Structure 1
Amino acid sequence: MIKTKYNYEDITNLNSYISKILKKNFGKGPAACYTFLTDDMMFINIKNFITPVEEVLIKKNEEHLAHKSRMIIFDAIFEQIQEEVKRVLNIDYTSMCYDWSFKHNTGLIILTKDEHFTQTAEHSLEGNESVNSIKKICSNVHNTQVQINHVSQTSTVTYIIYSGFMSKIEHALYEKGYVELLIEWSNELKGEYKQNKRLFEHALRAAIDDHFVFLDFEKDRGMIVFYHT
């Protein structure tokens, strides 16, 4: 459910603040920053954000370094964003995740109340056929039997929360501390989701413009966000 009780000025001010803090820390701010809220999450979509340094890394086939540097910086500035959101909206988000599409020069930041990013078993798409189709696609990508916990769809955005995506090998790697290796692997998996675009479009009955994938290896859960027309 999309929140409507927050006024336009509050959201505009937050967009401006986030753009400024990104510019301060990256040396270049996004050309556009759009925010909307659900009952328990805040979605921040940014466009045209790639810095000159990242452009060089991408051209040199070192995209993983661009991802890593962004991860380090965003982990460092989360507290500042968290405090500003609490001041403006009086919402205390406890965690943040993010994903970047360097090809499309778009990114998505999600602030969550951690206790809500769990197994809600709520499917708001019409009929179980769509949910079952999504479950099959996700299971094929991960080679495991995932559980679809929540599907929510609006006119422009669909987000899917699922769990149980990790294989025995991925669990073992995480337990032994190979987190960076798993993060690099997750970027490969995002390409697998892109290859399944038409299957997702059929299940969602909507054309997909962009998508983002978030994988939480600590809690074995993930989320896919589709922007569509």
Structure 2
Amino acid sequence: MDKKSIEAEIASYTGKLFRDNFGKGPSSIYVSCVRPFITIHLRDFLAPMEKVLVKQNNNLKVQETRDLLMQELLPDIKATVRTTAKVEIRNIYYDWSLENKTGIILAEMAESDTENDNDYLSYPSREQVHEEIVRFSEKAQKAPRNLHSLMLNPRTLVIVREGILVRIEKELIAAGFEEQLKLSKRRLEKSLLNTDLLESLLGVQIEDIFADWDFSLDKGYIIIIMKPEK
């Protein structure tokens, strides 16, 4: 199966899965398969009941409910991506932008399936982008021990940070407050990131910023969705 067929099949399956479980699926789904990631970008996705909660400024309740449901759906998504793309998936991450009615699912391939990559798909101003990521990471918690980024396509930039958790965060995770910490970190980090600077450096308009973490590995993922200039 060629790349476009794989992307189309994953998009079709994801749309049906979300319609069956949320009562409403996204109006469009964009899938991109570029090693070592597969991204699934959902657009115009907000169920009728969620619209009511968002209108009442209960965004946190929507995110908590979605997190509970996603824990049930992730094994199915992981299995379908693995079977369709013929790759092993190490983990899957996700985040939502309720204001924009969008979402992202990021599937990370296992190391054995990421050999002979395109040298992490370089892009202009990478060093300056990394400087901004370090700056805002220091404000949110601490500078990452390791940092790299991949321009998967003209619309998708993935930034991976390792070694960013501070001691109090590790204590909260150990005490069972992982969900609350994750929701709080998303709000904080998105508010601290200088999107104007990033747009200037990348020469694009930023449409969405998503974030998720693997606390067990002390890794954080930032996914920036862009609208390239014509």
TM interval, short-chain normalised: 0.7 to 0.9
Alignment map for 1:108-147 (pairs within 5 Å): 108-113=104-109, 124-126=122-124, 129-147=127-145
What are structure 2's unaligned runs of at least 5 residues? 113-118
1:158 aligns with 2:154: no
Displacement of 1:187 in angstroms is: 2.9
TM-score in terms of structure 1 length: 0.85
Kept in 1: contact 2:182–2:212 (CA 8 A): no
Q: In structure 2, what is the Cα distance between the partners aligned to 1:180 and 1:127?
A: 34
Structure 2 counterpart SS, 1:30: coil
Kept in 1: contact 2:135–2:143 (CA 8 A): no
- Residues 215 and 83 of structure 1: CA distance in aligned 2, closer, same or farther (over 3 Å): closer
Displacement of 1:84 in angstroms is: 2.0
1:20 aligns with 2:19: no
In angstroms, what is the RMSD of aligned CA positions? 2.4
Specify the code of the residue in structure 1 equivalent to 2:76.
Q
Kept in 2: contact 1:201–1:207 (CA 8 A): yes
Specify the code of the residue in structure 2 equivalent to 1:17.
Y
1:38 aligns with 2:34: yes
Which residue of structure 2 lines up, in the alignment, with residue 47 of structure 1? 43
Identity percentage of aligned residues: 25
1:167 aligns with 2:149: no
Q: Deviations over 1:32-79 (max 9, x none)?
A: 011001212110000111001111221222211111111111111122
- Residues 213 and 140 of structure 1: CA distance in aligned 2, closer, same or farther (over 3 Å): same
How many matched pairs?
A: 220
Q: Say which of 2, 5, 17 aligns to 1:6.
A: 2
Alignment map for 1:57-68 (pairs within 5 Å): 57-68=53-64
Which residue of structure 2 lines up, in the alignment, with residue 212 of structure 1? 210
Kept in 2: contact 1:142–1:165 (CA 8 A): no
- Residues 6 and 37 of structure 1: CA distance in aligned 2, closer, same or farther (over 3 Å): same
Displacement of 1:144 in angstroms is: 1.1
Q: In structure 2, what is the Cα distance between the partners aligned to 1:183 and 1:137?
A: 20
Structure 1 counterpart SS, 2:204: coil
